[in-house]
Amino acid sequence: MAIHPPSERVWWNLPIARTELIWIIVAFLWGLTMFFMMIYWHGYGKQNLSNEAYRTTPEQFSAKVQAMVEKYKVREEAGIPVVRPPPGSEVYMLARLWQWYPILEFEKNQSYRLHLSSLDLQHGFSLQPVNINLQIHPGYEMVLSVQPDKAGTYGVVCNEYCGLGHHQMVGRIYVLDK
């Protein structure tokens, strides 16, 4: 029994049953498959993180955000500027207690370099309803290329707990047909 010492003193020499051996081999090959699947997706899949990131400070990052807002602001909503940067450009969004700033306006099927960082605590960038989720750290500027493929109004929910106003922290991204 499993609560007694093995009945055979030299248990390590006992042969392994065929069913067990087959399962070990199958499970091992499945593990390899899953490993190669991740690598395969880097080559052929369309959803991969670049992992491009830079050290930054709240001052540096908010200066970049502000510069973009001044250049491309088109209107305001609920006191937050709505910004429409040209396709292909560098786009910035910051997280702070408890706001995503500013609101962005993209064109469908165009690519943008989106820079994300936090000015205070960690926040979670949760783009809904597409359900893309990224962790945003203070001091780190994360850069990724996004290419929205459906027009619509998207919410940016904060999904890392960041204090009492966490559940009020919602941002917005518009994707226009053109």
Integer distance in angstroms from the first to the last C-alpha of the chain? 71
- SS3 of residue 126 by DSSP: strand
7 binds another protein (CB under 8 A): yes
Among 67, 70, 74, 77, binds another protein (CB under 8 A): 77
Stretch that binds another protein, among 31-39, 59-67, 68-76, 85-93 (CB under 8 A): 31-39
Instruction: Tell me which residues in 109-138 interact with another protein (CB under 8 A).
Output: 116, 120-122, 124, 126-138
Which of another protein, Cu ion, none sits in contact with 74, Cβ below 5 to 8 A by type?
A: none
Which of another protein, Cu ion, none sits in contact with 123, Cβ below 5 to 8 A by type?
A: Cu ion
- Rg of the chain's alpha carbons, rounded to an integer? 24
**Closer to Cu ion by Cβ: residue 85 or 117:** 117
Residues 98-131: b if buried by 16+ CB within 10 A, e if exposed: bbbbbbbbbbeebebbbbbbbbebebbbbbeebe
